[in-house]
Amino acid sequence: MSLPRIAVDAMGGDEGVRVMVEGAALARRRHERFQFLLVGDETRIKLALDRHPNLRAAAEILHAPDVVSGDEKPTQALRRSRTTSMGLAINAVKQGDAGAAVSAGNTGALMAMAKLALRTMPGIDRPALAGLVPTLGEHDLVMLDLGANTDCDARNLVQFAIMGAAYARIVNGLEAPRVRLLNIGTEETKGTDNLRDAAAMLKQAGEAVSFTFDGFTEANTLSRGDFDVVVTDGFSGNIALKAMEGAARFVADLLKRSFSSSIRSKVGFLISKPATELLKHHLDPNNHNGAIFLGLNGIVVKSHGGATALGVAHAVAVTARLLEENLTTRIAADLANVGMETIRNTGRNLAPAASAAAAAPVAGIVAEKNA
């Protein structure tokens, strides 16, 4: 039995068609059940497919005359959703022609198009961007929100936690993920009113779904592997993620400089090469590629714009697994078990309806950036 096919925005990313098609082909070689809808310039896709006959046998091409540029504002991209490769890939999910979509294109535009076309699930006010962060533990850390919502209230954070836990159960095979809120301290009195309200709600919610709320955590503990899901607003999450990426690059560059500083250092490098290669593999973002917009009526996965073919293949594999494990159904079941209506008034600042920001036009929700 084959999985529902995956729509791939073949024009997205820094390298475009070549890397996207090669990544899909690599995923197909490892998982023969995958079927694909490759969206973009038909001529260029056909040329790329000539190098990958295994993919050609499992793929259909949907021609798209336009491409969303990396610096294009979401509001501009939305107007061209019917002609761009990104828009048509998402529309294929909406129409049922594909089970999920993968794009390495403009993050803000992808978020805007996906939210407008697929809408949020019942019980979810705002979708969140979730990704995987390497740790010293047995599993990667699920982190959300990574930039889709710069300002969140307590209700949003609780919804993010429920969705993040469902995601962690699938990608990391965990029965009861350990969830924490990102804060400036671990004490219960630390942080904003929204964080403390969210903590109170999560203590109650954790009794109804399969996750354990472990309280607050600080940013300097994210890589230890002591917990499985960390929840924050998109502003703080994006800063924390990029700080971690910068620290990883700093360590790698410092090691490279140190090992090339003298003959003795070069000899030391040869001796320690197996360890440095392991470090390089662990920190390589291609091995953790594939962030997902949780909370939509459909699966849309964001590949890093600079991902290699291996990174794209990893994003595609994550997408297929989420399809196979029925992520959206699991999230819906957890929301029903929690009963957001019964806990929405726990805390000080929880309104009975979705926040005004959630009702704003989609362009106002998405940060106009290219992450």
Would you give per-residue pLDDT tens digits along the chain (371 residues)? Answer: 456 799 999 998 788 899 999 999 999 888 788 899 999 999 999 999 999 988 988 999 999 999 998 888 999 989 999 999 999 999 999 999 999 999 988 888 999 999 999 999 988 998 999 988 888 888 889 999 888 888 899 999 999 999 999 999 988 888 889 999 999 999 988 889 999 999 998 887 756 677 889 899 999 998 888 999 999 999 998 898 888 878 777 777 777 777 676 776 666 666 665 655 555 555 566 666 778 999 999 999 998 888 888 889 988 988 988 888 888 888 888 888 776 554 554 444 444 333 333 333 333 333 333 34
- pTM for the complete prediction? 0.81
Angle value at C-alpha 215, between 213 and 221, nearest 5 degrees: 110
Local structure of 206: helix, strand or coil: coil
**Measured distance CA(193)–CA(179) in Å, rounded:** 19
Query: Amino acid identity, residue 322?
Result: L
Q: What pLDDT sits at residue 264? A: 67
| Residue 348 CB neighbour total at 10 angstroms | 11
Contact 211, 178 (CB under 8 A): yes
Alpha-carbon Rg of the chain, whole angstroms? 21
Q: What is the CATH number of domain 6-124+289-325?
A: 3.40.718.10
Q: What are phi and psi of 40, to 5 degrees?
A: 155, -155
Q: What pLDDT sits at residue 34? A: 84
Q: What pLDDT sits at residue 340? A: 56
Contact residues for 301 (Cβ-Cβ < 8 A; gap 6+): 100, 101, 102, 103, 290, 291, 292, 293, 315, 318, 319, 322
First to last CA, the chain: 36
| Residue 208 CB neighbour total at 10 angstroms | 16
Q: What pLDDT sits at residue 272? A: 61
Local structure of 147: helix, strand or coil: coil
Edge to edge, what strands does the sheet with 291-294 contain? 59-63, 36-40, 6-9, 100-103, 299-302, 291-294, 128-133, 141-144, 229-231, 178-182, 212-217
**Measured distance CA(370)–CA(301) in Å, rounded:** 15
Q: What pLDDT sits at residue 347? A: 45
Fold classification of 128-286+329-363 is: Isopropylmalate Dehydrogenase (3.40.718)
Delimit the domains of the chain by residue range: 6-124+289-325, 128-286+329-363
Query: Partners of 36 in the beta sheet?
Result: 6, 59
